[in-house]
Structure 1
């Protein structure tokens, strides 16, 4: 009976490893993988392992099957692992040389580890291991090369599909057709683009084409997972899987369904899928080919969108330029844009006419070349200041004298910086206004103002002096003894006419002040309205002795702050107006009433009422007189009531009129006791 072996498992493994290549690969697998991974990283120039998971991917299983094959024979090798490894490397963009270098580095790591151990392999073990490794390398490289060639051939055919520059849907269908021709197990394929919250089928070939093309598929569980992970999906039985939302695919009895996201950088553009009714899965070669087709489709979709954006941007830019040109030509301003070197970029016709050069001649030319030295020097200083400070300069006045024509042209110019949307300085702009007509109008207006001042001086001084002499002489003649009735009537007419002329001169001067001088000046002080009106009526009574001019007062307090000269002027104009239009045998009655905050002045006369058509413009200047010429009454300039209205408003009061055949005509003036605030202007 044999005694039990008391040695440990590790000791058994160490003993079994002596001379066995298979045991050596199993025992040292982890260290070999680590050494190989570092060698790959160093060879590819990567400083840090970005994707260790896909870099290692199938290598642990490949080492295990390699050990099994050394021990049991080549039938232990799993070709599917070799193909999967090659497909993974192809998808990551490795070329054939890099795949070969991977296996060369693996072989070097194994040999280096064998040299480092004390016990050599048994005779023939190294040869068997080398033979199995060569089989793996050969099949991997063969699959990689054949698949690469197949993809390149398909890509050549895909390139042919784009030669006539078809529209996007046509090109996508051609790409899918080339895929079906190259992958015999593919029975249907389609491209869906993301539009809002759904995927829309833009191209489809094979089974169910008519039913799926144009279909709108909501983002279901499957598509949402793919949107989130940006990874392909695979369904083994599409006809029964509830995640498949395209009903035609379910009706066609599809088995394998493989889809990949179409990406534009980090943005999902859509989904491409291929399906088979005969196969439950797709080969690695077919999936690699489908990825190549999908990448080409995604690139074309992005290119079409880019071209559409470029076209839209170009069209928008052309429209904007057309609008800008139309605006520049329509505005009555000279507009110019100059670059940082003060060369003209764009001008409109108005500015070109100022420089006496066509628009085309300005482009690329300097300011000095177009405007001349006399104007260019001050303008350049201002423009460079705008560029240095980035601030606008406004209301710059320029002038140029044409000695040959004997004329001077004046301009007002605003200069401003021209920037992009992000604030980068592009140049300087100028807006030029020809103000020559305005300057000439100013000169003409100044002449008119000077003439006005001279005329007002004549009215206010030169005419008043002889008029006062006439009035005084008439007064003296009227008091002379021994005048007969005819002489007395003549003197009375002289006195009345001179008084009327005096009032007309006052009205004209006040009218000129309101229209050109900013209003009638008012100097208010504390006065008694009763005393003012009594004095004014007494003066009028001397001029009109034959007409009763009674004054009535109601209430006790008739004091306030008013301009006494203006109050008597208002009362005089109203009374004289009433005397002209009242019956010759009737009095003109003035009434003063204490109305609390106001003092109310009423001037009443009997006679023909004011015509209704004249009432709305009764206080307008230069209105037609309501007295017909054949009535023998004096015609008026129509300024008296206008001056009344202006004076009352300057005091903050109001004037109204009531006129009828039964009641007669009454002008009512409200005088506020408290003066208005300084700077008051009539409404």
Structure 2
């Protein structure tokens, strides 16, 4: 093992004597860098001892490199290995305290600036071999710190991804099992209610009670359906659809008739295109969207107001706009009404809703290559607009 010059030994001893001064200046510059650039909020609350971390030990490695000299531009293993170990621990520390890679690199760059300013202040004429020793140990340190930082980040991302997949699988299985186990007893309840309602001689009170029981059982079935749809969409990353030739006009009329039955006394008007609208869509899924849009419009509008359905068609696409005169959706919530478990008016009674209807409807539209948009204001009411290509290209078909 070779040794450095007498001057290098003297410089190493001087750095060790003034190590606390160097550390204090480095801390000051690090905090000032944050104030100037506001790039690392962690520094505002990180205690000084945590910020310093392994810097004292790292400066020992710099001094040792100066004592050894730099044979053939390489550090001796007795310096390199301890430097790598110190820097790796530092990389772990910085990752766990929320630093980014750029901040880790900046730390070492600031340390070089502090050392060079310190030497200039001491009027030390630094030799090229001494400078190379300092730069070499710093380069070894920053490389090891960044490598370890990156390894910690990659490991955390992999663990997080694995946990997310596990959580989603558990969620899918849980909702699937619960929904399946609930569907059977609900189906039995609905069948029994239907049979009882056909019984002669029922009193008005008994009929109302059975009707209420059926309405609530049907609502529970719809909620279970929404949960299963949401689980499937989360699992596949899309809502599976099976497009086939069908008539949109027929789907719209059936949806309006169904809505009129479930909301007696309400007025639903249709305008625009009234003739046949042939296209290529998943009949059941599109019917689900239309039912959701009408149900939403009827639930959130006054009983004496009308709901309108305007249909516009061209060669490429069909647009169905469902309008109501209910309270407008607040502007700050307009962008989130299609998110899962969100409702346009969170203060209103849920009325058997999980806040999944519009989210599922939008995903069905997207799987057809279309979209679902919302517009709402006090002076023009609320309009939900479904747009679907008549012959979707690249539709997300179920396998």
Task: Give the corresponding residue for 1:327.
Answer: 142
CA shift at 1:675, angstroms? 0.6
Q: Secondary structure at the match of 2:136?
A: helix
CA shift at 1:538, angstroms? 3.6
Task: Give the corresponding residue for 1:452.
Answer: 171
Between the two structures, name the one with larger relative contact order (CA 8 Å, sep ≥ 6). 2
| Pairing partner for 2:292 from 556, 559, 573 | 573
Task: Give the corresponding residue for 1:652.
Answer: 369
Contact 2:374–2:385 at 8 Å: present in 1 too? Answer: yes
Task: Give the corresponding residue for 2:13.
Answer: none
1:610-649 residue pairs with structure 2 within 5 A? Answer: 610-624=329-343, 626=345, 628-629=347-348, 634=351, 636-649=353-366
Q: d(CA) in 2 for partners of 1:611 and 1:445?
A: 33
Matched, 1:516 2:331: no
Q: d(CA) in 2 for partners of 1:678 and 1:319?
A: 61
CA shift at 1:555, angstroms? 5.1
Task: Give the corresponding residue for 2:393.
Answer: 676
Matched, 1:489 2:208: yes
| Pairing partner for 2:181 from 446, 462, 483 | 462
Matched, 1:318 2:37: no
Q: Secondary structure at the match of 2:285?
A: helix
CA shift at 1:639, angstroms? 1.4
CA shift at 1:610, angstroms? 2.3
1:15-54 residue pairs with structure 2 within 5 A? Answer: none
* Structure 1 segments unaligned to the other structure (5+ residues): 1-310, 335-430
Q: Secondary structure at the match of 2:223?
A: helix
1:182-331 residue pairs with structure 2 within 5 A? Answer: 312=128, 314-315=129-130, 317-331=132-146
| Mean CA deviation greater in 537-546 or 652-661 | 537-546
Q: d(CA) in 1 for partners of 2:381 and 2:268?
A: 16
Q: d(CA) in 1 for partners of 2:295 and 2:376?
A: 17
Q: Secondary structure at the match of 1:463?
A: helix
Residues 51-92 of structure 1, C-alpha deviations (whole Å, 9 max, x = no match): xxxxxxxxxxxxxxxxxxxxxxxxxxxxxxxxxxxxxxxxxx
Task: Give the corresponding residue for 2:120.
Answer: none
Q: d(CA) in 1 for partners of 2:299 and 2:138?
A: 66
CA shift at 1:510, angstroms? 2.4
CA shift at 1:446, angstroms? 5.9
Contact 1:495–1:543 at 8 Å: present in 2 too? Answer: no
Change over 3 Å in CA distance of 1:440–1:667 after alignment to 2: closer
Q: d(CA) in 2 for partners of 1:658 and 1:502?
A: 30
Q: Secondary structure at the match of 2:218?
A: helix
1:33-432 residue pairs with structure 2 within 5 A? Answer: 312=128, 314-315=129-130, 317-333=132-148
Matched, 1:593 2:312: yes
Q: Which has the higher helix share?
A: 2
Q: d(CA) in 2 for partners of 1:666 and 1:441?
A: 40
Change over 3 Å in CA distance of 1:472–1:660 after alignment to 2: farther
> CA RMSD, aligned part only?
3.4
Q: d(CA) in 1 for partners of 2:178 and 2:306?
A: 33
Contact 2:337–2:343 at 8 Å: present in 1 too? Answer: no
Change over 3 Å in CA distance of 1:546–1:501 after alignment to 2: farther
Q: Which has the higher strand share?
A: 1
Matched, 1:559 2:278: yes
Q: Secondary structure at the match of 1:333?
A: helix
Q: Report the structure number with the largest CA radius of gyration.
A: 1
Q: d(CA) in 2 for partners of 1:479 and 1:588?
A: 33
Change over 3 Å in CA distance of 1:675–1:623 after alignment to 2: same
| Pairing partner for 2:325 from 595, 606, 614 | 606
CA shift at 1:672, angstroms? 1.0
Q: d(CA) in 2 for partners of 1:581 and 1:508?
A: 22
Task: Give the corresponding residue for 2:250.
Answer: 531
Change over 3 Å in CA distance of 1:442–1:662 after alignment to 2: closer
Residues 168-227 of structure 1, C-alpha deviations (whole Å, 9 max, x = no match): xxxxxxxxxxxxxxxxxxxxxxxxxxxxxxxxxxxxxxxxxxxxxxxxxxxxxxxxxxxx
CA shift at 1:327, angstroms? 1.6
Q: d(CA) in 2 for partners of 1:570 and 1:459?
A: 24
Residues 79-123 of structure 1, C-alpha deviations (whole Å, 9 max, x = no match): xxxxxxxxxxxxxxxxxxxxxxxxxxxxxxxxxxxxxxxxxxxxx
Contact 2:368–2:395 at 8 Å: present in 1 too? Answer: no
Q: d(CA) in 1 for partners of 2:358 and 2:284?
A: 16
Task: Give the corresponding residue for 1:504.
Answer: 223
Instruction: Kindly tell me the number of residue pairs found equivalent between the two proteins.
Output: 272
CA shift at 1:573, angstroms? 1.1
Change over 3 Å in CA distance of 1:581–1:446 after alignment to 2: closer
Q: Secondary structure at the match of 2:335?
A: helix
CA shift at 1:616, angstroms? 2.4
| Pairing partner for 1:475 from 183, 187, 194 | 194
CA shift at 1:558, angstroms? 0.9
Change over 3 Å in CA distance of 1:498–1:432 after alignment to 2: closer
TM-score scaled to structure 1, two decimals? 0.36
Q: d(CA) in 2 for partners of 1:481 and 1:540?
A: 28
Q: d(CA) in 2 for partners of 1:535 and 1:479?
A: 25
CA shift at 1:578, angstroms? 1.4
TM-score scaled to structure 2, two decimals? 0.58
Change over 3 Å in CA distance of 1:535–1:475 after alignment to 2: farther
Contact 2:368–2:396 at 8 Å: present in 1 too? Answer: no
Q: d(CA) in 1 for partners of 2:384 and 2:353?
A: 18
